[in-house]
């Protein structure tokens, strides 16, 4: 359907096209006719001159007698400026003594038919070859005419100017005037209204035609209101409010377009899943306002590294998606990745606070690692978690091995939840022995999984997965409840009022509801809090240190003792030993295995001396023979546990063990 604007345009263009088609045809045809006439006149003049010379010349030396003839011919013919006669490629007679050399053959016209206007204007030189006889022997000379350049050019230019003026410019001016009148009065106002209606372009100024102005005014009022509402909705639906980057909706749209484009061109691109390391610590320690400012800073830092056509989006929290395309090779891509990590790791000043964070990046490639948005983001997410697990502040590429690992973890998580529901978990107990007296003074509760098909599964095979998936929060709560019930059972049945140690994972300890659940558990059970010991590892102090310290103080305030497990294997620091409310240090088995070496013995003895200086109890793990026990006794270690006394035992067998030891 044609618009008025388009209709008038087509109409006027049609008229112009027809008129100028006729004009061009007539002009070209007339130009050629004039060219043919000029060429014919030149041919006649050259032929007449050549005939006169050939008729009267009996030898070549007599050619000079014809100089008056060619001078007269040149003077009487306005088309010809000069003539020369050539014999055996030598100029033997000329009307212009300044002509010393022959012009190149390509610049001379030797034909007199089908000569175009362009050829005539470019050359302006004609030649005619003619025969004469010397003693009945034929010879040849050539007459070359130089045309009068200004005369011919003026002749064509004057004609061209008149033709253009009367048949081209004047009709065109009339059509242009008609077009301007129609356009200004009708077409432009209607086109402005159309554009404003469809594209919400600039508001048209007032129209002179009353009916058009009424329509314009009504449209302006309506669209101004709609434009404001649309702008707000568009911004909310496609832009991340905090960082100003593309949000998930815009990311999905741009990714869908890029996937289709890459499928057509058979090219690849990389999707980067970026997650900030230890961002939660910034939020908890400095507040969410600083955390938000940090995210805005990070968005700006990443944008500095990327090209304008790369895609960057914040999809939630401290997670960013970057799409990098048009890279030459994997080396160029790794340079981009390293620049991103470097920018993130630089010290930032956020609201006067010096903040340093790092990033973990997972990379998936289209189409190798996924052909749609969901699969690419999922696989990049898998690679990102592998980067975190490998130490953070690095990037990892997605592999099929990672995929298989994730599938295995999902299946294991499903089995773990099923196992908890089907009561397949059991607690085993390993005694803690006073080194000086040999008395059993406590027991450590250790979880085991009795799988109905696979049999007994050790904790190292499922605890890491439970920690990673968050299932450890449920499982850890079950361990606490089960250990407390067992302690009360032994106490109430008169077996032994034994202190029970329960391992607390970092995942469980960092749960926001841990304090609430722990206090409710103590309140709802009849256990003496002094008979409960919580074992933690050094990893719980790596983030949220103030919150963790508060939680530990809450535990201590309930008269529950706290043991620091595997001391020396992680981020050991005398500073937190002094500040943390712990009661016991546990020496890891790996150190005791090395007690016979000088360095190993020094390390163990140093731990014991530090603990005693800080008035802490010391427990050695993994004691397997008498020699180890005697060594620990010699350095005044307080307690031990290990296979030398007893392996971890199920509750029933542990009860028999207690009875035998006591009696």
For the segment 84-129, what is each residue's pLDDT rounded down to a tens digit?
A: 888 888 888 888 888 888 888 888 888 888 888 888 788 778 888 8
DSSP state of 647: -
| DSSP string of 342-381, one letter each residue | HHHHS-EEETTEEE--EEEEEEEEETTS-SSHHHHHHHHH
For the segment 49-60, what is each residue's pLDDT rounded down to a tens digit?
A: 888 887 777 777
Nearest Cα residue to 313 out of 248, 394, 401: 248
- The answer to whether 204 touches 192, Cβ cutoff 8 Å, is yes
For the segment 388-413, what is each residue's pLDDT rounded down to a tens digit?
A: 888 899 999 998 888 888 788 888 88
| DSSP string of 576-633, one letter each residue | HHHHS---EEEE-HHHHTTTTSHHHHHHHHHHHHHHHHTT-EEEEE---SHHHHHHHH
What is the rounded CA–CA span in Å between residue 565 and residue 439? 21
For the segment 567-606, what is each residue's pLDDT rounded down to a tens digit?
A: 766 555 566 677 788 899 998 888 888 888 988 889 899 8
What is the rounded CA–CA span in Å between residue 304 and residue 301? 5
Nearest Cα residue to 560 out of 499, 509, 477: 499
Pairs from 286-295 (Cβ < 8 Å, separation ≥ 24): 286/350, 286/351, 286/353, 286/355, 289/351, 290/350, 290/351, 290/353, 290/355, 292/242, 293/350, 293/351, 294/348, 294/350, 294/355, 294/357, 295/242, 295/243
DSSP reduced 3-state for 406: helix
DSSP state of 635: T
pTM over 0.85: no
Residue with tokens 């397997």: 624
What is the rounded CA–CA span in Å between residue 413 and residue 416? 5
DSSP reduced 3-state for 499: strand
Work out the pLDDT band at 196, boundaries 50, 70, 90. confident
For 611, phi then psi, to 5°, come to -60, -45
Share of the chain above pLDDT 70, in %: 95
Mean pLDDT of 242-262: 90
Residue with tokens 């289709």: 260
Work out the pLDDT band at 488, boundaries 50, 70, 90. very high
Report the half-sphere exposure of 443 (CA within 13 A, side-chain side): 26
Strands (E) across 47-206 are located at 80-87, 90-94, 125-134, 137-147
């Amino acid at each position: 359907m044609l618009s008025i604007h388009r209709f008038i345009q087509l109409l006027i263009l049609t008229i112009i096209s027809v008129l100028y088609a006729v004009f061009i045809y007539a002009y070209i045809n007339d130009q050629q006719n004039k060219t043919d006439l000029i060429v014919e006149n030149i041919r006649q003049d050259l032929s007449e001159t050549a005939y006169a010379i050939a008729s009267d010349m009996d030898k070549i030396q007599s050619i000079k007698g014809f100089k008056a003839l060619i001078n007269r011919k040149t003077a009487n013919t306005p088309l010809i400026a000069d003539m020369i006669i050539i014999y055996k490629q030598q100029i033997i007679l000329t009307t212009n003594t300044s002509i010393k050399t022959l012009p190149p053959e390509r610049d001379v016209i030797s034909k007199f038919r089908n000569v175009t206007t362009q050829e005539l204007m470019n050359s302006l030189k004609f030649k005619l070859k003619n025969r004469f006889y010397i003693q009945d022997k034929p010879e040849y000379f050539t007459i070359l005419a130089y045309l009068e350049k200004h005369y011919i050019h003026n002749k064509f230019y004057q004609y061209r100017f008149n033709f253009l003026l009367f048949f081209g410019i004047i009709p065109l001016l009339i059509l242009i005037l008609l077009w301007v009148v129609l356009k200004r009065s009708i077409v432009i106002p209607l086109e402005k209204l159309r554009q404003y209606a469809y594209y919400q372009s600039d508001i048209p100024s007032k129209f002179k035609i009353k009916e058009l102005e009424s329509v314009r005014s009504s449209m302006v009022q309506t669209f101004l209101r709609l434009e404001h509402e649309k702008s707000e909705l568009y911004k909310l639906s496609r832009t991340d409010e905090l960082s100003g980057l593309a949000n998930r909706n815009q990311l999905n749209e741009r990714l869908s377009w890029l996937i289709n484009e890459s499928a057509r061109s058979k090219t690849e691109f990389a999707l980067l899943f970026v997650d900030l390391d230890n961002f939660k610590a910034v939020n908890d320690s400095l507040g969410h306002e600083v955390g938000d400012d940090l995210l805005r800073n990070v968005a700006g830092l990443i944008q500095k590294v990327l090209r304008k056509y790369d895609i960057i989006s914040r999809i939630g929290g401290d997670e960013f998606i970057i799409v990098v395309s048009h890279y030459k090779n994997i080396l160029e891509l790794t340079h981009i990745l390293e620049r991103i990590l470097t920018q993130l790791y630089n010290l930032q000043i956020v609201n006067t606070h010096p903040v340093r964070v790092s990033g973990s990046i997972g990379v998936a490639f289209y189409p190798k690692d996924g052909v749609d948005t969901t699969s690419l983001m999922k696989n990049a997410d898998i690679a990102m978690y592998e980067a975190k697990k490998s130490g953070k502040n690095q990037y990892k590429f997605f592999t099929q091995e990672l995929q298989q690992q994730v599938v295995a973890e999902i299946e294991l998580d499903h089995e773990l939840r099923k196992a908890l529901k089907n009561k397949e978990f059991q607690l085993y107990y390993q005694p803690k022995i006073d080194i000086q007296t040999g008395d059993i003074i406590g027991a450590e509760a250790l979880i085991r999984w009795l799988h109905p098909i696979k049999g007994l599964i050790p904790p190292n095979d499922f605890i890491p997965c439970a920690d990673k998936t968050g299932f450890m929060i449920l499982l850890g709560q079950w361990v606490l409840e089960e250990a407390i019930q067992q302690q009360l059972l032994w106490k109430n049945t008169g077996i032994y009022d034994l202190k029970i140690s329960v391992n607390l994972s970092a995942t469980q300890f960092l749960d926001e509801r841990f304090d609430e659940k722990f206090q409710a558990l103590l309140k709802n059970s009849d256990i003496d809090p002094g008979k409960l010991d919580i074992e933690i590892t050094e990893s719980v102090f790596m983030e949220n240190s103030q919150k963790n310290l508060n939680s530990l103080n809450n535990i201590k305030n309930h008269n529950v003792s706290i043991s620091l497990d595997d001391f020396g294997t992680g981020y050991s620091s005398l500073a937190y030993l002094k500040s943390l409310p712990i009661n016991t240090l546990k020496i890891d088995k790996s150190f005791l295995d090395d007690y016979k070496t000088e360095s190993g013995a020094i390390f163990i003895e140093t731990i014991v001396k530090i603990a005693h200086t800080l008035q802490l109890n010391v427990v050695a793990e993994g004691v397997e023979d008498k020699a180890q026990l005697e060594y620990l006794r010699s350095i005044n270690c307080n307690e031990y546990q290990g296979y030398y006394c007893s392996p971890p035992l199920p509750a029933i067998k542990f009860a028999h063990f207690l009875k035998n030891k006591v009696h």
